[in-house]
Amino acid sequence: MEIDRRVFFASLGGAAAVSAMDSDAKADALEAYLSDQLDDAVSAPPKGTGSPQKQFPTVAELDAQITTKNYRRGVGNLFAGGRNVKKLEPMPANATLQDFFRLRFAPANHVLQSATRAMKTGMTEEIILACLLHDVVQELIKPDHGWWGAQLFEPYIPAKSTFAIRYHQALRFYADPANGYEYPEMYYGIFGKDYVPPPHIEATYKMVRNHKWYLEPRLVTVNDLYAFDPKAKVSIDPFIDIIGRHFKQPKEGLGNDNSPVAHMWRTIARPDSPL
Ligand SMILES: [Fe+2]
Ligand SMILES: [Fe+2]
């Protein structure tokens, strides 16, 4: 997918705003931007049907908007994101992971493409599951999405999948050609060659690099970065069996099971709740 650097920077509030972001925030913003572009491309009507071109504000207009908004850029996609929110269907009783994919995470193209690639390249079921789930928490919140995502799924999935989700966020900054992961060229082009991840990401990388489960998050990054294809047709159907084998669906439904993270699922289920 091609990136228009000027448009991307404008979407973040301009070059000055970008330079004030730390390296991890920049990388998160790029991933979110690509994911949004992909969703737009997939949901756009065919050419010639009168779809208006997306209008982007100027840097000055965005700068002027910062203090007029009651949300920040790290807010989850369900809550805000530069366009009007959609009316959401209520979740069914005893909601399953598939219900959340259909009604709250959709279209979820990025994670479905990642998981499809993981399946095609013969990853373990724990890694395929991690690829399927690795970014969906961005519907709730974006900063530290590896840690938030791991927390959201920890009670329900294998420990290796949780580990993979938690640490993919840090590993994507560190090349590992022996395992098929090059530092993404697009990061050079957009953020500059002198990019240095912040100390907590560096420390996390060093810890994970020496961990016996290092390959779990590494293989999520391998299947992550090349997953943005607006033409790909993807579905959750090929993953239903893996979900059945590895996702401990609570009988009360996600959000009703009194787990330590049930409130996170309830918030995703009812983002229009005033309190
Ligand atoms: Fe991610
Ligand atoms: Fe991702």
Find out whether 56 and 10 touch, Cβ atoms under 8 Å.
yes
Mean pLDDT of 65-69: 72
Which residue type is seen at 205?
Answer: Y
pLDDT score of 64: 73
What average pLDDT does the structure give for the chain? Answer: 82
Mean pLDDT of 123-146: 96
Q: State the Cα–Cα distance between residues 128 and 236, nearest whole angstrom.
A: 12
Find out whether 143 and 151 touch, Cβ atoms under 8 Å.
no
In angstroms, what is the span from residue 136 Cα to ligand 2's centroid? 9
pLDDT in tens, 196-215: 888 999 999 999 999 999 99
pLDDT score of 17: 47
Handedness of CA 72, 73, 76, 82 (dihedral sign): positive
Find out whether 172 and 223 touch, Cβ atoms under 8 Å.
no
Ligand with minimal distance to 113 CA? 2
In angstroms, what is the span from residue 176 Cα to ligand 2's centroid? 17
In angstroms, what is the span from residue 87 Cα to ligand 1's centroid? 26
Per the listing, tokens 């999520």 go with: 220
DSSP conformation class of 53: P
pLDDT score of 22: 55
Mean pLDDT of 218-223: 96
**Of 30-39, 86-95, 155-164, 242-251, the least confident:** 30-39
pLDDT score of 61: 57
Q: State the Cα–Cα distance between residues 77 and 64, nearest whole angstrom.
A: 22
| Between 244 and 33, the higher pLDDT residue | 244
In angstroms, what is the span from residue 131 Cα to ligand 2's centroid? 8
pLDDT of 25 over the 80 cut: no
Find out whether 120 and 239 touch, Cβ atoms under 8 Å.
no
Find out whether 242 and 128 touch, Cβ atoms under 8 Å.
yes
In angstroms, what is the span from residue 31 Cα to ligand 1's centroid? 7
In angstroms, what is the span from residue 186 Cα to ligand 2's centroid? 14
Indicate the SS3 state at residue 141.
strand
In angstroms, what is the span from residue 225 Cα to ligand 2's centroid? 7
| Between 233 and 119, the higher pLDDT residue | 119
Q: Which residues contact 260 (CB under 8 A, 6 or more apart)?
A: 155
Q: State the Cα–Cα distance between residues 75 and 141, nearest whole angstrom.
A: 5
Q: State the Cα–Cα distance between residues 148 and 155, nearest whole angstrom.
A: 13
In angstroms, what is the span from residue 274 Cα to ligand 2's centroid? 30
In angstroms, what is the span from residue 111 Cα to ligand 2's centroid? 7
In angstroms, what is the span from residue 84 Cα to ligand 1's centroid? 24
C-alpha angle with apex 24: 164 to 269, nearest 5 degrees?
A: 60
